[in-house]
Every structure is written in structure tokens, then in C-alpha cells.
Amino acid sequence: MRNIDPARAKWMRIRMGVLSGILGLGAGAVVASAYRVQVEDGDAWRAAAEKQRERKQEVKPKRGSVFDRHGSRLATSIEVPSASIDVEELLGEAGKSEGQKAESAKKGNEDLVLRAATARLSQILSIDPVELYRKLATKKRFLWLKRKISLEEAQALRDIGDPKKEPQPIRGIVIEAEMRRFYPAREVAGSLLGFVSPDGDGKDGLELALDEDLRGKAEEIEGLRDRSGRWFALPGAKTSVAGHDVELTIDQAIQHLAESELSSAQRTYETIGGSVVVMDPSTGEILALASTPGFNPNDYSTSDVEARRDRAITDRFEPGSVMKVFTIAGALERGKLSTEEKVYCEHGTYKLGPVTIHDTHQNDWLTPEEILKHSSNIGALKIGLALGEADLYSTYRKFGFGEPTNIPLPGEASGVLRPRGRPWVDVETANASFGQGISATSLQLATAMSAIAGDGKLIEPVLVRRVTDVEGNIVRDAELPRVRREAVSPRVAKTVREMLVSVTEKGGTGEEAAVHGFRVGGKTATAQKVDPGTGKYSTDKFTASFVGFIPAEKPRLVIAVVLDEPMIGHYGGDLAGPVFRRVAGEAMRYLGQTPPDQGHIALRASPKNEPLRASASLASMVSLKEPEPGTVRVPDLNGLPMREALKVLSKSGLVPTLAGSGRLVKQSLPAGTTVPKGSTLELLFEPTT
């Protein structure tokens, strides 16, 4: 400054001062702004920053499980791996500019990478390489390779994507967990349960009807995304959402028994299908709802659509002679008939207007009980005509015909009771009195017979016992019994019940349905099917059925057996009767109810204050290490009563084959051995002395 002109030096000092002042003001402004942002407005800015990182993700809840009445799992959801791929990452294109991607494509590198990846992936996943290459060629950032793969396939994919194990790893593969619906009992109750689509939606049966309960409600879970875009839940966020569990009235052991006998009858008589309904007439609980042909809901895609239909509720058919039961009950209720009154049955042939009606046997004078025993069409139609069109129609409606039972299953048919908009003429009334010109379902027949087996009240069938949430709290509970109305008085119900016992006694049409040691009541039916081509009754297509109850004194079970279009034979007593006998007899033994003359056979579960003989082995079963996936360990059932043995066995995933009665003395597979789920275990029972 000494050699500079004083005036100029002064000016320079002024400028430096001004500049320093400006810089000081700027620095002050910056500090002030920083203070305002970080201190005064710090909370607001911090919240804004967090908001940019926070994301709410909709989490699909785990689908609820379905149990039978004893807690055996019929349907559940398990986590299985699924594989997807980011094709851009596979090609090494992630993060490149469009120009760089175009340059890479020109060199033909992409096609080589895609073809090499296709060859390796298609081999591991056993999928069509042509279809896989076509998918990869779309170059999408997300593509499903295969959903719900095995653990071995998942590990193989991880290995080929690991740089430590592969010199040329396949990049972009993502293994993530998805829920898969699993049915431990396989085909058992398949038509009843339905199935679930890969996206987790119920598509048939109970899975569809109760989809809202089972699926639960999707919830938004708060979480954060890192710089790679991966989402993770915040600490403490609720992630254990799940749908409701459903407990059915179905007994898995009785369901399996009914399905086995039905399948055997289908093979023996070459039917196109059939159904069996087992009900408790005192509560309306459905213990079995079997339909054949059935299917395995674990592999529903390979099954035929017809096999997935639950014939017990969807198939309408002319019930035939079973309706004579309700015709006679209505006439007795209204005083148009007495138990000792005899009806002239015209020696087997009766002409009504232009129609001639025949009986299988030539009968003259028959009481109402004999009309049921010999299944006289002419006797039934005369009672129906005496009752009158209006009262006959009213009787059938009181027994639930022509209306749905309101069972919670999709596709239930209500049946047809009479032509819409007009009453029956005499011929139609006559035909309806013995089950022609009207239609019903197997479940409707079982429900109507339950009114006869009970005290005359029509009880609504119940399939769902209760619905509970993930914590075990009851969401919905069935009130039993659900009485819809009184069909007939208790006196008439008891009278008809006693009449029906004669059907299964010597000389009755249902001799084959008799169960040794029990008094059994019921009614056979052999109904001609209408040919849809001609509109007339077919001469070679029939529906054979038997609907009955056991024991007659105080019915514990009502069982309806319906066989559709048997090729070998066609009479209901000869075909459906034996199915009823086997299902009823085995079910009664399983329930611990023995014939009155065999009271020494102790089949009931031990009282609460009396320990089970096999309690030690049962305890050891619980402590054993869990077997490998897809396998089960055979339990020790030695010495258990049949009912208790089947309870234990139903939870293990093994299929029982029963012989004898009493307590278990032998099982075909040694206790403790590991076998695949669904394996057959033969059980031999012997009476105690």
C-alpha cells in the first residue's frame, strides 16, 4: 500500500470493507437460515424427510384354516417359495442409458445371455424353454419364472445366482415366500372344501362361500425403503395378520368312511356319480357330505370340472318312492288316514285318466305301513289324491322341498316342487305322491327325513360350527338346533318312524339296509330319469337311493344314499341299501354306540376321570421330533377304542382301513415309522371280554 497512490489505496480499503461486509451479511444469512431450518423448523423438515422414505405396503393376511369337529385340519396355508426375475438385471442393463442398451443389443449380447439363461432355468424348473424365452425376451423388470416351487428348485436357483458357486451366475433371480393352500387329507371332502387360486382367492366350495372370513382383511403396514428400493417393516409394526379359522360340523372319519363306500359303489355298480349325506337329526349337524367322483384340491388343475361338483347339493333328481313317507305323514297329520286303514292297490295296475300306473308287486289291500314296506305306487297315489293337491303341496313345503336348505355352499339347488304359476291336476298330484314330476337334492331328502327321525320339526342343516379369529376369540357361533318350522306333530313323526322299520325287515324293499343288532328305519327309491332328448322317462337310466335313520328308537344318524345311473342293477334297496348298511354300522361303532344285545363291547372313549390305556404312547408322540415335510410318523394306537384311535389317526394324515370292533389289537405299520402323508394304515379291532 506504501507505493500506491493514497487516494487509490483509500478506495481499495473502502471496497474491501464493503466486500467484507457483504460476505459477512451473506454468512450471517446462511447461518440464520441453517438455524431456522435445523432448529426452528427442524421437526417439520425431519418429518418431510422421513415421509420420503416411509412407505405403506398392503400386506395380504394368511388365509385361515378349516378344521373338522374334532380339530383335525382339513385346509391350511403354508409358505412356499416362488421365483421371479428382473430381466434388465439379468442382461446387465440396469442403470444403463438408452444409448448404451441399444449398443449392447447391436452386438447381439442380449440374445446370447437370454438363451443361456433360458436353457439353465428351464432345466431346473422343468418348464417349456420356448415359452420361457418368449417371456424373457419382453425384458420386463419383473417376471414370474414359476410360482410355488419346491425347496429343491429354490435352492438350485439360489446356487446358479451365487457368484461364489457359479463362474457365470444368473443375475436378477428373486426367491420370495408365497402362501399355498394345502389340504392334508387330500381327496377327503374335496368337493365340499373347493380350492383356492394361486392368487389366494377361494374358487369353489367352502373356500368360495366363506372366502371373506378365511381371507381376512388386507392391512397397510408402515415401513421404509432403502436406496435399493427394498421395503422393510418398521420396528413394532403389526405384521401378523391372518384370516379367521372355521370349524365345521364334519367328522373327518365319517366323511372318509362315506366317501370310501360311495367310491366302492361307483366302481361296483358303474354309476356316473353319487352322494351320501350323514346328519345328526337332533341338532341338524352334517357329519359327512360326500360326493363322487371327487378330486384332490391340492392338484385341482388336473381334475375334471364334473368331479369338482358337490352332487349332494347341486344335483336335482326325481326322488321317487322316498316321497311316499311324506305323503303318508301328511295324510296322518290331517286326519285323512289312520294307521289301521287299508287301501285297495288294484292288484298292481291302476288307470288314472290317460295314464296307467303300475306297482312292482301285485298287491290288493295294504295298510299305510305295508304300502311303505312294499313301496306301492298305487297305494301312495290314492292317499295323495285323498289328501288333495293343496294339502299335498303344503306338506311337501313343510318338509322343506322346493326351497334351499341355506347351507353355506355355492350352487345349492332348491329343487322343483310343481310347475310355476298353476296347481297340480289329478295325474300330477298322483305322480307327485310317489315322487315323480318333482325334484330334490340329497341334502333335502336327508333334512326332510330328519324331521321324521326327530320330533317332527324341520331343522336347518348346519355345516359351520363356529368361526374364530387368529387369537381364538369366537367371531360367529352356530346356535343348535335351528328349527325352521314344525313339519308334523311328534306323534305322527313317531308313528311314521315305526312304520319305516318294516321296510328294512324281512319282506321289505330295504332288507339290504338292515344293520345287525339295530332297528333301522328308512325308505328305498328307484326313480326313472327323464331322457332330455325325448322328454319321456328312460327305460335304462335310473336313480337308486335309500334314506334312513339308526337306531329307530332314538335316531342318532340320518343317512341319505343316492346313486346316479347305475349300469349294474337299478333298484334302490339292492344298490343304495348296502351302502347305507356299511356307513351306518361303521359310523355307529365309531361313535361308540353298540347294539343293545352287545353292551359288553366297550367302544366309548374313556371318561375324563379314567386315563386312556395308551396315554403314555400318546404323550411320547407329542415329544417326538417333527418328521420331514410330506411325511408323518405312525402313531401307537394299540389298545385304543375305535373312536379314540380314529381321532388320533385323523390328525396324522394317514388313511385308515377298519376291520372288526372293540379295541385295537393290530396295526399294519409299526408305531414310530415315517411314511408319506396319505398312506393307508390297516387297523384290526377285537371286542373286549
- List residues with catalytic annotation: 321
Residue 285's alpha-carbon distances to 90, 208, 271, 556, in angstroms, are 57, 21, 28, 11
Edge-to-edge order in the sheet of strand 521-530: 286-292, 273-279, 557-564, 537-550, 521-530
Cα gap 409→256, rounded to integer Å: 20
Please enumerate in sequence order all residues whose Cβ is within 8 A of that of 330, keeping only pairs 6 or more positions apart, or say none. Answer: 387, 391, 392, 394, 395, 396, 398, 488
Helix (H) or strand (E) holding 173: strand 173-182
User: Which of 269, 247, 185, 248 has the alpha carbon at shortest distance from 561?
Assistant: 269
End-to-end Cα, the chain, rounded Å: 130
- Residue whose C-alpha cell is 292288484: 347
CB atoms within 10 A of CB 168: 11
CA dihedral 559, 560, 564, 568 (to 10 degrees): 50
* Helix residue ranges, H only, 165-316: 190-193, 205-209, 211-215, 252-269, 311-314
Provide the grid cell at 373: 314296506
CA nearest to 116, candidates 168, 79, 75: 168
What does each C-alpha distance from 671 to 499, 633, 642, 656, 675 come to in angstroms?
A: 48, 8, 17, 14, 11
Q: What stretch of H or E contains 124?
A: helix 109-125
3-state SS record for 312-355: HHHCCECCHHHHHHHHHHHHHHCCCCCCCCCEECHHHEEEECCE
Cis peptide before 551 (omega within 30 of 0): yes
How would you class 272 by CB atoms within 10 Å of its CB: exposed for 0-12, middle for 13-18, buried for 19 or more? middle
Q: Which amino acid is at 360?
A: T
